[in-house]
C-alpha cells in the first residue's frame, strides 16, 4: 500500500512564487527513502506537506489512501511524524522528558502509557540519562536526538527526518543509523532529507532527487550516482569511490568501498 502519494502537487509561500512545482511521488509502506538536492530545491517544503504542516496550492496528497486535505494537521501528525530540520523550531519544553511527552499528553494518552513510551523512545535515541536535563543545556547534536525521540514516541507509521546528520560526529551518525534500522525493523516508513551522501548511501536504497522545485530523479542509489546528466542538473557529485571507479574504468554502479574492492579483486 502507498503510505504517501503525491499527485501533481504544487506549493507557494507567496502568491506568485512556487516552492514546489508539480511533483508526483509514491512511497510504499515500510520503504526507506532519501530525498537529496541542493539548498532551496524544495525538499523541506515537500515533506512538510506530508503531515499537513503545509497545505498544497494544487494537486492531491493521499496518506495511507486517505485524502490529506480532509484531515486536520493533528490527525495527520499521528500518521506522519516530522522531525524538524532545525531543533529550535520544535523544542520548547523545560526537560527532555516533558519535551518527549508533550504531544502524548496533548493526545490525552494515559499516564503509565506516556511514561512507557517516553522511556522507550529515550532509550532508542540514547537519551535515558538526560530525561531531566533542559534540552537547551545539551549540545545541538544531542538536541537533534531529543526531537527524534519526540517523534518516535508518537509511534506514527511514517517518520520523516529532515537533515538528521547536520553537526553529528561519528558516534552520532552511528546512533542515527541504528535508529533508522530499528524504525525500519518496526515496519515504519522512513523518509530522510540529507546533504550527506555517505550517510544516504549507507542507510537508504531509493533516492529521490529534487532540483529547482521539481523531482528530477527517483531510482536506486546505484543508478542515481552514475547518472552524470542527473547529477549535473542537481549540482551533486558522485561519491569519491565512484569517481575513482569511473577514472579506473571499472564497472559502473560502484558506490561504496565494498563494491569497489569486490570489482577490483576480480
Ligand atoms: N517560510 C518560507 N517563506 C517563504 N519562502 C520560503 C519559506 N521556506 C522556504 N522558502 C523558499 O522555498 C524554496 C524551497 O525551500 P525548502 O526549504 O523547501 O528547500 P530545501 O530543499 O529544504 O533546502 P535546504 O537544503 O536549504 O534545507 C526556497 O526558495 C526557499 O527560499
Ligand atoms: Mg530543507
Based on the fold, state whether residues 83 and 120 are members of the same structural domain.
Answer: yes
Q: Which atom of ligand 1 approaches the CA of 37 most closely?
A: 21
> Does residue 46 contact residue 80 with C-beta atoms inside 8 Å?
no
Residue with the nearest Cα to atom 28 of ligand 1?
40
Residues 220 and 247 in one domain: no
Residue 190 has pLDDT above 90, yes or no: yes
Whole-number pLDDT of residue 108:
87
Do 161 and 144 lie in one domain? The reply is yes
Testing ligand 1's pocket by substitution, the residue of 9, 15, 18, 43 carrying the most ligand atoms inside 8 A of its CB is: 43
pLDDT of residue 240: 94
144 lines ligand 1 (CB under 6 A): no
Q: Residue 265's pLDDT is what?
A: 83
pLDDT band at 13 (very low <50, low <70, confident <90, very high): very high
pLDDT digits (tens, 9 = 90+) for 45-65: 999 999 999 999 999 999 999
Say if ligand 1 is within 6 A of residue 43 CB. yes
pLDDT value of position 59: 98
Residues 217 and 247 placed together within one structural domain of the fold: no
Give backbone dihedrals phi and psi of 113, rounded to 5 degrees, phi first: -65, -40
| 260 and 161 fall within a common domain | no
What pLDDT score was predicted for residue 15? 82
Q: Are residues 178 and 265 in the same domain?
A: no
| pLDDT at res. 32 | 97
The whole-number pLDDT of residue 80 equals: 98
The answer to whether residues 34 and 139 belong to one domain is yes
Ligand 1 atom at minimum distance from 45 CA: 18
Q: Whose CA is nearest to atom 27 of ligand 1?
A: 39
What CATH number has the domain bearing residue 203?
A: 3.40.50.300
What atom of ligand 1 comes closest to residue 42's alpha carbon?
Answer: 18
Is the CB–ligand 1 distance for residue 41 below 6 Å?
yes
Yes or no: say if 37 and 195 are a contact pair by the CB < 8 Å rule: no
Residues 50 and 149 in one domain: yes
Q: What was the pLDDT predicted at 244?
A: 93
pLDDT of residue 1: 86
Res. 10 pLDDT band, cuts 50 70 90: very high
197-202: long-range contacts, CB 8 A cutoff, minimum separation 24: 197/36, 197/225, 197/236, 197/237, 197/239, 198/239, 199/165, 199/173, 200/34, 200/36, 201/225, 201/239, 201/255, 201/256, 202/177, 202/256
Q: Ligand 1 atom closest to Cα of 210?
A: 21
How far apart (Å, rounded) are the C-alpha atoms in residues 159 and 154?
Answer: 10
Read off the pLDDT of residues 129-185 as tens digits, 9 standing for 90 and up: 999 999 999 999 999 999 999 999 999 999 999 999 999 999 999 999 999 999 999
Domain that holds residue 82: 2-235
Q: Which residues surround ligand 2, an ion (CB under 5 A)?
A: 43-44, 85
Compute the distance from residue 31 Cα to the ligand 2 centre, in Å.
21
242 and 155 belong to one structural domain: no
* Same structural domain, 131 and 243: no
- Ligand minimally distant from the alpha carbon of residue 12: 1
Q: Mention every residue, 6+ apart, whose C-beta is less than 8 A from residue 2.
A: 26, 27, 28, 29, 62, 64, 65
pLDDT at 264: 82
Q: What total of structural domains would you count in the chain?
A: 2
Residue closest via CA to ligand 1's atom 11 equals 19
pLDDT tens digit sequence for 88-125: 888 999 999 999 999 999 888 999 999 999 999 999 99
**Are residues 222 and 207 both part of a single domain?**
yes
What pLDDT, in 10s, does the model give residues 208-231? 999 999 999 999 999 999 999 999
Based on the fold, state whether residues 146 and 265 are members of the same structural domain. no
Task: Judge whether residue 37 has pLDDT over 90.
Answer: yes
Amino acid at each position: 500500500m502507498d503510505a504517501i502519494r503525491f499527485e501533481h502537487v504544487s506549493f507557494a509561500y507567496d502568491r506568485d512564487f512556487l516552492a514546489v512545482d508539480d511533483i508526483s511521488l509514491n512511497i510504499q509502506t515500510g520503504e526507506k527513502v532519501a530525498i537529496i538536492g541542493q539548498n532551496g530545491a524544495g525538499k523541506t517544503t515537500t515533506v512538510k506537506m506530508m503531515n499537513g504542516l503545509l497545505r498544497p496550492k494544487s494537486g492531491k496528497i493521499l496518506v495511507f489512501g486517505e485524502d490529506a486535505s480532509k484531515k486536520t494537521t493533528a490527525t495527520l501528525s499521528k500518521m506522519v511524524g516530522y522531525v524538524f530540520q532545525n531543533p529550535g523550531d520544535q523544542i520548547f519544553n523545560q526537560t527532555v522528558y516533558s519535551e518527549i511527552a508533550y504531544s502524548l499528553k496533548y493526545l490525552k494518552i494515559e499516564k503509565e502509557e506516556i511514561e512507557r513510551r517516553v522511556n522507550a523512545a529515550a532509550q532508542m535515541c540514547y537519551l535515558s540519562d538526560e530525561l531531566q536535563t533542559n534540552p537547551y543545556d545539551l549540545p545541538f547534536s544531542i538536541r537533534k536526538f531529543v526531537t527524534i525521540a519526540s517523534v518516535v514516541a508518537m509511534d506514527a507509521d511514517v517518520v520523516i527526518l529532515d537533515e538528521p546528520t547536520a553537526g553529528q560526529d561519528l558516534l552520532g551518525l552511528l546512533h542515527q543509523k541504528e535508529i533508522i534500522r530499528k524504525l525500519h525493523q518496526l515496519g515504519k516508513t522512513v523518509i530522510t532529507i540529507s546533504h550527506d551522501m555517505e550517510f544516504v548511501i549507507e542507510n537508504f536504497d531509493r533516492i529521490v532527487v529534487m532540483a529547482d522545485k521539481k523531482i528530477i530523479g527517483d531510482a536506486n542509489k546505484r543508478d542515481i550516482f552514475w547518472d552524470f546528466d542527473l547529477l549535473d542538473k542537481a549540482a551533486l557529485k558522485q561519491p569519491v569511490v565512484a569517481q575513482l571507479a569511473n577514472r579506473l574504468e571499472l564497472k559502473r554502479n560502484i558506490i561504496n568501498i565494498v563494491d569497489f574492492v569486490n570489482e577490483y579483486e576480480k
